[in-house]
């Protein structure tokens, strides 16, 4: 988690591209393939010779309330996959896609090569933040997938929860990096720029903002590290704690970035700064993975003993 935070602080777009290819795509492939095509893909991924993408979201970025509409039907030793995916990170760059859909009324993952017949990429999609990230949609029209490239089937709810846990971990780490960049930028600016004959950090109002930013940032760190540790130490509690960390970290990232812009005054409002970049990127963490609204519902249900 600490290493992920550092990379995100340097380049949020590069961080998400790397994490969604190696950690997210790699974990999905490793779920059900220890030999054959899956092993070949994992070896190429570890050697840096291939780029992967996970295609999960459909009409909505959230799959909590809307069932998966991407469907596969069996055809001999293969399956035919049809559906539409949106916001596929690394889509324009990927060599392999892990497409999540339904097979025999259960969840499954279909490993599809970029040039497979029936697979079409949409134009690269522009987003408010993460400017350097390559994102596209994905259309599947009867795309034929060999049996050794089908993972699963899995029980739908537990499988999607696992995918969302992994995605939430990445988004939490990304939020830490955004906070780190925002805070350091504001602190250094306050030390170097002067007003009324003294550095602006000497003014109480600025000091208060920096203290609030640091408090949020360091609290978010503790939350993130504990949630990551719990995945290994207490998996039963890890899911709920990760949701708590997701809500706090992603929303704090927006607050810290906003305060950083205020400290920098007119310089903060100019495009191109780290705080401005962080402010635009922060919102994605709140809507991707398990959205903060749905996360709050789940946390509340757990608190009331409904889970």
- Is-contact 178 221, C-beta < 8 A? no
pTM of the model: 0.91
- Is-contact 187 211, C-beta < 8 A? no
pLDDT tens across 49-66, in order?
999 999 998 876 666 666
pLDDT tens across 122-134, in order?
989 888 899 889 9
- Is-contact 91 73, C-beta < 8 A? no
- Is-contact 5 37, C-beta < 8 A? no
**Average pLDDT of adjacent 10-residue blocks, the chain of 307 residues:** 91 94 93 70 90 88 72 92 93 94 93 94 90 92 92 89 92 96 94 89 92 96 93 84 95 96 86 88 92 90 78
- Dihedral of the alpha carbons of 100, 104, 105, 107, in degrees to the nearest 10: -20
């Amino acid at each position: 988690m600490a290493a992920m935070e550092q990379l995100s602080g340097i380049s949020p777009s590069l961080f998400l591209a790397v994490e969604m290819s190696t950690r997210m795509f790699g974990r999905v492939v490793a779920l059900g393939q220890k030999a054959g095509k899956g092993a070949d893909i994992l070896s190429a991924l570890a050697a840096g010779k291939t780029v992967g993408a996970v295609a999960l979201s459909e009409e909505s970025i959230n799959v909590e309330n809307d069932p998966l509409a991407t469907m596969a039907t069996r055809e001999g030793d293969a399956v035919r996959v049809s559906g539409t995916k949106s916001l596929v990170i690394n889509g324009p760059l990927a060599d392999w896609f892990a497409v999540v859909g339904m097979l025999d009324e259960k969840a499954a993952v279909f490993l599809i090569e970029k040039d497979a017949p029936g697979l079409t990429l949409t134009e690269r999609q522009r987003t408010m933040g993460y400017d350097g990230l390559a994102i596209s949609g994905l259309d599947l029209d009867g795309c034929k997938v060999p049996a050794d490239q089908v993972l699963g089937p899995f029980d739908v709810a537990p499988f999607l929860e696992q995918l969302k846990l992994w995605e939430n971990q990445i988004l939490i780490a990304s939020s830490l990096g955004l906070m780190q960049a925002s805070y350091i930028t504001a602190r250094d600016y306050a030390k170097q720029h002067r007003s009324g004959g003294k550095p602006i950090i000497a003014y109480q109002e600025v000091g208060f903002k920096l203290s609030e930013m640091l408090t949020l940032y360091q609290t978010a760190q503790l939350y993130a590290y504990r949630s990551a540790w719990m995945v290994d130490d207490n998996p039963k509690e890890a899911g709920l704690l990760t949701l708590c960390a997701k809500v706090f970290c992603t929303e704090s990232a927006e607050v810290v970035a906003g305060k950083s812009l205020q400290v920098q005054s007119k310089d903060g409002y100019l495009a191109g700064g780290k705080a401005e970049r962080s402010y635009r990127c922060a919102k994605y963490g709140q809507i991707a993975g398990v959205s903060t609204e749905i996360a709050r519902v789940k946390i509340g249900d757990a608190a009331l003993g409904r889970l």
